[in-house]
Every structure is written in structure tokens, then in C-alpha cells.
Chain A
């Protein structure tokens, strides 16, 4: 078994690691063999995230104090760290920033890059990374031929390992930004969606599609979600119609989710949607078109009017939960 040194870049928001951050430490450990797993955190407030990284299995944490870390800084800093420490693998979360950082970093250090990895296999010939094609209807197994390998890891693809004692050293690094590293400037940052929608950690998701017909009927999805303690999901046309905010979107350009139960009302089942929810343990779909593709992935399919099924479900759930 080959020992590899693995860098895991953990992105932070307000000093806390993003969800995929600690999740990556499990595949990182697997890829490392007997090698070292080092988390890299770029944030002026890195204490919390650093401790979490140690708890979830990092052998060491490199911290770089830097106020904001837009991708441009990150690319420069990670390039410098890669040159100094010479990791064999650099893992980055598949967040919007991560998806920008990884290919730029790879191009700079001459490494091969694979995005959206959702599985890996350690073989005698090297590491085989699995990544979706066509939005996930086909999986591609690839190898990277360069000495350094850069990959992005999909949020939710790996579960966080067991929490342990936070042992391991924290190595603060000086950052010296090169002139010209940062060319763009964020001059305004606007928050339009204030609600916290945590689809990725939800155990139950109730999704409404365009087949709900009207905004008013779509709102009833929330009623069922409330009874079940579930989170509301939506398809893209629902968001485009303004029935709910983008934070609820499930799919290729929304969230990739893996709840225990996913209930879809009036959702056709386009690949761009399926790709986001196929990882659900149990899928229930209601659609009036008996040939709707959503039925191909459903454990239970009800052919019929979602607007009629929804109130019955609400009523039955109330009885079940005694509310």
C-alpha cells in the first residue's frame, strides 16, 4: 500500500467549516494509507474549524490567517503551500468557490484535476476516482497521471468519520500575497435569501414541482413538511415562478440531497432534478402522468392528482404523530 500525503482544504464561513470540510477527512484518510492528512484552513478566525478538523481525523492543521478568502487568494495561498509541503493529493470541497479554486490550482501546479468526486477506490495502480457524467446517469472512473492530484469532493458523498480526540499540531503559516494575485474586487455583497434551509442534513424532504399548479397549492407542501419535521424542496421551474426561494432547489444546479425519505409532488423527474435526489433512501412520488420519469426511481408511485393526495397525507401524518 502506497503512503500518500493528503492536503484537505477546508473552506470556512464565519469561522466555521462548511459541511463538506470534515466529510472529506474520511476519504482523505483512506487515500493517505500510512501517509499524513493535513487540513488547510485560510481564515483569520480558524480556531473552531481547526479543532473540528483534528476531531474528525486530521493529523495536523495548517492555518493561514487571511481576512476574506475569495477564490483568488485561495489559489495563490494553496499554490504556495503545495510548493512548500509537496502533498500528493489536494482535496477541495465541491462548493462554488471550491469548483473555481481546484481547476485554477491544478493549472498552476501542473496537476491533473477531477471534480465532483463521489467515491474512490485504492488499487495497486493508483487511486480510482468516481465522478458523474450526464448529471449522474453514468459514472466515470478516472485516474490522474500527475505526481500531484487535485480533486473536488461532493458534499454529502462521504459521511463524517467518528469524532475522536483533537490531537495533532496546528501550524500557523505566514501568507505573503504576490502582487497581482488578486485582480477582482467584490464591491457589494447582497443577501437576498435570509432563511436557513438545510436540505443537505434533512432526514425528510417534501418537494413540490411545477405540477402543484399554483403558488397557493405549493404552499401546502410546507404544511406537510411542518407535520413531518421535514424540509421543503423545489424544482427549478418552481423557483423561476417565484413560489419559493433558490435555497430550496434540489438538483444539478441546486442541492444534492440524501434524506431517509424524499416525497415528490408534481415533479416530472428530469435528469437535472433526479441527479440531486437519487441518493435518497426511500422515494415517494405523486404524478398524474403514469409515464413520468420520476416513477422510475420511486419506491412508491401514486398516479393521480397531487393536490388531492397532499391533504390526505397531511391528515394521515397528523393522526400518526398525534397532532
Chain B
């Protein structure tokens, strides 16, 4: 079983990112880069799946700049055996379609190099920065694979893949042929942490670097000029007017005060 997990490096999602009015860009300066949360869930699910006694390996890939290597290193410390960074000026400014196209080319190329197709290509349902959720489904289209979204567990039963898909009121068990693309939702556990030993081991593992030429990506299919969705501008959401903060020793008095403001405002 060969599993590819697509990860994206994003700014720490516990830090509130706002529009920097002076640059017109998100205030990501100095914010620690992390692996997108849903991608860590994908990796953890893949690792647990193989730990049920299924022979196989996990490869992880990201399309991003030079320093996204550190995120791949983190993945190598928690279950992945191979890591790749897809990096080229050509990819810059890609929309989801361009990203999915490039990832698709890379998946095929790595499969050829590593000797055999991937059975499962895992993505997160969405990233915390773009929050677009388009890349996984588009990747399935570009590879011609089947797709199951909102995955919270997987299991192999009588040789076929059974995927647990979270729904609004419960879950589905979906049978899917392989190769397939899956998108990970949040399972009801946290991903594992690396140990000192696994971190040391990851540090020594090679990370493959691939350019557009390496994967045979066409310039009319990826990057800014091929982007079908163009950013016009970023804007700050309308600010809420400053409220009243009641900070008093006597909690009963504070509560009653708040309550009377609420009744005056006619919101109850």
C-alpha cells in the first residue's frame, strides 16, 4: 500500500492573522509556520491505517518555498518515510486548479521513480489560510481517481477500502476503489507527537526537491498566468464597535449590570 499525503505549510493557526493595513497583506510576519491541521490529521490517519498490519509506506509532499522543508521534516518524524518539496518560481501565484495540476504531475512522477502508483492520495479538507477546500477534489479530477471527502477513518476489508466519512448527523461507510483521493476531516483524537528519537531519525532522511521541469508541469496550466481566479484585493472585515467590559469585584453586581444593559438594548 502506497500512500501520498499532501501537506501545506501555513502560519500557526492559533495566532490571529489580520490585514496589515500598511502592506495590504496578511500579518504573517514572525508567525511560526506549521503543517496545516487537517493535513496532520490525514497523516495520522494514514499512519494508524498502516499500523493495523498493512504493509506500506507513506510519502509526503508539499508545494511551497524552500523553508517548507521544515514541515516535511516534521512529517518524517511522525510516520512518513519519504518527503518531497515541490518548488519553482513557475508555481507562484497558482490558484487551486494550478496547485492540483502540479501536485498531480508530481504524484505521477514520484510514482514512476519510486516504482509503483500510489493507492491513496490524502489531502486535508481545507487549509487554514486559503480555506478553499478545492485542492483535494480538483486533484482527484486531474488524476482521474475516485474521491471521498470528510474522511475520519479507513479500513481494509476483504481487499477493498472502506472509508468512514463524517456526515452532518453521523457517518457513512463508503467503499471506494483504489487509487483514490481522500480528504481528511478531524478524527476524534490528536495526531501523535514526534519523539526525540524520531526527530533525530527524520533529520537524517533525504528530502527530494522537484522543479516544474522535473515533473513535466506545463506553464500554461499552473502559476499566476494560468490562474483562473484572480485576487483583486484583500480587505478587513467590518470592525465591530468597541463594547463595554464589566470588570468588578462583585460578580452578582456585574451580572445584573450586564443584564440591565441587555434589556435596555432590547436584545432579550
Contacts and interface: CB of A to CB of B under 8 A. Distances in A.
B172 A189 contact: yes
B137 A300 contact: no
**Which residue, B130, B176, B232, B248, has most C-beta atoms of chain A within 10 A?**
B232
B244 A303 contact: no
Contacts of B259: 312-313, 316
Given A140-B234, A270-B14, A300 B244 contact: yes
A132 B131 contact: yes
Interface string A75-110: 000000000000000000000100110111011100
Given A271-B13, A301-B246, A302-B246, A96 B167 contact: yes
A259 to B, nearest CB: 10
B169 A188 contact: no
Interface string B241-262: 0011111100110111011011
Interface stretch (A46-54, A143-151, A213-221): A143-151
Contacts of A290: 245, 247
B251 A284 contact: no
A184 B13 contact: no
Contact of B147 (A104, A115, A135): A104
Interface size class of A (residues with CB under 8 A): 35 or more
A190 B171 contact: yes
A300 B262 contact: yes
A282 B255 CA distance: 17
Given A107-B138, A113-B134, A185-B175, A96 B148 contact: no
B229 A96 contact: no
Interface string B1-38: 00000000000011011110000001000000000000
Contact of B168 (A71, A96, A107, A115): A96
Contact of B138 (A103, A140, A317): A103
A190 B172 CA distance: 6
Given A104-B138, A228-B268, A260-B267, A185 B174 contact: yes
B95 to A, nearest CB: 7
B254 A138 contact: no
Contact of A304 (B175, B227, B233, B251): B251
Contacts of B97: 106-107, 112-113
A192 B268 contact: no
Given A142-B230, A302-B246, A312-B256, A137 B95 contact: no
B268 A186 contact: no
A76 to B, nearest CB: 12
B251 A133 contact: no
B150 interface: yes
Contacts of B195: none
A314 B251 CA distance: 15
A1 interface: no
Contacts of B141: 103-104, 107-108
Interface string A253-284: 10000001100000000111000001001111
Q: Is the interface of A mostly helix, strand, loop or mixed?
A: mixed
Contacts of A143: 229-230, 232
B228 A142 contact: no
**Which residue, A106, A114, A295, A300, has most C-beta atoms of chain B within 10 A?**
A300
Interface in B65-116: 95-97, 100
A282 B237 contact: no
Nearest to B163: A184
A157 interface: no
Given A184-B148, A284-B262, A298-B243, A112 B268 contact: no
Interface string B192-231: 0000000000000000000000000000000000011111
B175 to A, nearest CB: 5
Contacts of B142: 107
Given A104-B137, A113-B134, A300-B262, A184 B146 contact: yes
B82 to A, nearest CB: 27
Interface in A173-208: 183-194, 204
B20 to A, nearest CB: 10
B245 A100 contact: no
A64 B186 CA distance: 34
B54 interface: no
Contacts of A3: none
Nearest to A113: B134
16 contacts: A71-B149, A103-B136, A104-B137, A106-B97, A112-B97, A113-B228, A115-B132, A134-B17, A139-B236, A189-B170, A282-B265, A299-B240, A303-B246, A308-B255, A309-B251, A313-B255
Interface of B: 13-14, 16-19, 26, 95-97, 100, 128-138, 140-142, 146-150, 162, 167-177, 180, 185-186, 188, 227-237, 240, 243-248, 251-252, 254-256, 258-259, 261-263, 265, 267-268
Given A99-B149, A295-B243, 8 more contacts: A100-B149, A108-B141, A142-B229, A185-B176, A278-B240, A300-B258, A301-B244, A312-B252
